Structure 1
């Protein structure tokens, strides 16, 4: 992983301190995570990440990206006490507090997928499958639809229409409306960004190398 600015290290240390201070009573059951000794195991896009008091590790024992680290910590810190069950699917812009991040979400999540896979629908299908996505009947007219389990309580659905003679390729990412109970808007946007980055990388990389 490329070296990151020192400020990211301070931010991560602050998050780790906040996680270490948590009362974990009830959280594993609500969040779908596992506590083993002093470590918390969190599935993220099908891979198990471990948060211990002093570090976060991916399945190979390496430090994940700053974005992934923040998402995992926030998932623990923002755990709702009494979560609802609103599973209606919505676009990112439909969330009440998303407005400041909508443009960035489009530029870092949806548009990169459309650009990378325009005219290459088979490559996108392969990348989705390799990342653990499941083909999904969305009931919406589109060329490709996949469902990913980003976090145990936060699925992400991808709808894709390939470019044709009239329109460019177009990608839409959908979340369950209840996802806002588990993560703030910045973290939901980062999930979209991470998904896009990993799908693009999977064009020529092994899935085990994604962090």
Structure 2
């Protein structure tokens, strides 16, 4: 089953909204670098702004918000520590997170492999799509294209891509800071990967 389309997600979202009503979400604004609005917080997810309040989550541009996105945004505020711990700059793959085990296959299939198959032989299109969603190009002598995105404030995501050649197929690797687990659980962190892939292959969706 596609985790993002599971009916359990709607139930999870409703439960998280109830949890948001029990906390002061605005107390987390400065800690996370979020801008408060009138009764809501402005939370950017891969450069797209959402309005988050205990009564619900909306897209100010009028686009539909998937339940998966709602769950991630709720969990981001609920998981936020009361004080920021020292944030590691060390980069890790999803597999390297302590509790990632059960979701590694899901992440690989729905993130790395989709990016590889979609953009093999078309690095210029990957670059175009990445820049359109706020990605920045990093210097690299190892990869054909190295990119950085911001899934959420405090959660940068790196995408390294090598195109196919006569010997090897295209390969994509997605990296997070080790400190990302301070802000999201493994399920929601996996969804940030699938959202990245989804928005690269289908701009304007998700």
Same structural fold, with TM-score higher than 0.5 when normalized by the shorter chain: yes
Name 2:22's counterpart in structure 1: 21
Q: CA contact under 8 A between 1:56 and 1:63: conserved in structure 2? A: no
Q: Which moved more, 1:114-123 or 1:49-58?
A: 49-58
In 2, Cα distance between equivalents of 1:24 and 1:125: 36
RMSD: 1.7
Q: Deviations over 1:152-208 (max 9, x none)?
A: 110100000001111111000000111110011111110000000110113xxxxxx
> 93, 108, 111: which is aligned to 1:109?
111
Name 1:144's counterpart in structure 2: 145
> 127, 131, 142: which is aligned to 2:129?
127
In 1, Cα distance between equivalents of 2:32 and 2:152: 8
Name 1:206's counterpart in structure 2: none
Alignment map for 1:190-205 (pairs within 5 Å): 190-202=191-203
Name 2:90's counterpart in structure 1: 88
Segments of 5+ residues of structure 1 without an aligned counterpart are 203-208
Q: CA contact under 8 A between 1:146 and 1:158: conserved in structure 2? A: yes
Equivalenced residues, count: 201
In 2, Cα distance between equivalents of 1:103 and 1:11: 22
In 2, Cα distance between equivalents of 1:174 and 1:66: 24
In 1, Cα distance between equivalents of 2:175 and 2:141: 12
Corresponding position: 1:158 with 2:159 = yes
Does the residue aligned with 2:36 lie in a helix, a strand or coil? Answer: strand
Q: Deviations over 1:55-85 (max 9, x none)?
A: 2112313441111111100000000123222
Segments of 5+ residues of structure 2 without an aligned counterpart are none
Q: Deviations over 1:36-65 (max 9, x none)?
A: 232121111112101133321123134411
Name 1:35's counterpart in structure 2: 36
Name 1:205's counterpart in structure 2: none
Q: CA contact under 8 A between 1:51 and 1:57: conserved in structure 2? A: yes
